[in-house]
Amino acid sequence: MVTQIIGLVSVFLVLGLIFTNRSLLTILLVVFVSSIVLFFIRIFLEKMPLLDAFFDSFGFLSNIVLVFLVVHFFKKRSAHDKSL
């Protein structure tokens, strides 16, 4: 029940961010954070095995978001290093 509520809240939050023209990075960060929260809830509240909780929480979209955030982080970091 808790996982369904968190899923619905994150969907409505993402839709709200899309309609208010927030940055793509903010939207992707919300998706990834909600996956992390779902992962911990499935481990601690629902007592799922670690691998099952991981695969149920992090889908294909979350993995793409993770790659995007890591690339964005290192791109900003290298741009900051070049300006010094």
The structural domain count of the chain equals: 1
| Structural domain that includes position 74 | 2-83
Separation between Cα atoms, residue 82 and residue 28, nearest integer Å: 26
pLDDT of residue 40 exceeding 90, the answer is yes
The pLDDT of residue 84 is above 70: no
Contact at 8 Å (CB) between 57 and 39? Answer: yes
- pLDDT of 49: 94
Residues 66/28, Cβ–Cβ less than 8 Å: no
Q: Considering the entire predicted model, what is its pTM?
A: 0.71
